[in-house]
Amino acid sequence: MKKEIHPENFRLIVFKDMSNGHTFMTRSTANTKETIKMDDGKDYPLVKLEISNTSHPFYTGKMKLVDSAGRVDKFMNRYKTHMEKNKK
C-alpha cells in the first residue's frame, strides 16, 4: 500500500436507507449535519441514502418499476406504432 494517501479522519457513521428504514454502521469520512441515536444509546452522524443493497432490485431479486407521472405510459403510447412495426 502507498503511504500517506489514505484519510485518517474517518469515524463511525450510520447510513440509513430511506426507502425501507434499514440502517448500518461503518467507518467513513462523509460529512453530515444530522445524528441518530442507536441501540447502544450513543449518537452517531447520519447519512441518508435513497437506495442501498437492501432495497435495490438487483440485490433483492424484485423488479420494481418507479413510474412518476405516468412517464412509462406516455412513452409506450408514443412509440406504440413504431414498436409494432419492428415486431413484424
pLDDT digits (tens, 9 = 90+) for 21-62: 899 999 999 999 999 999 999 999 999 998 888 887 776 777
pLDDT of residue 41: 93
Taking the domains of the chain in order of start, what are their residue ranges? Answer: 11-87
> How far apart are alpha carbons 24 and 41 in whole angstroms?
15
Question: What's the first-to-final CA gap in the chain, in angstroms?
Answer: 58
Name 34's bridge partners. 46
pLDDT of residue 69: 62
Q: Of all residues in the chain, what percent carry a pLDDT higher than 90?
A: 39
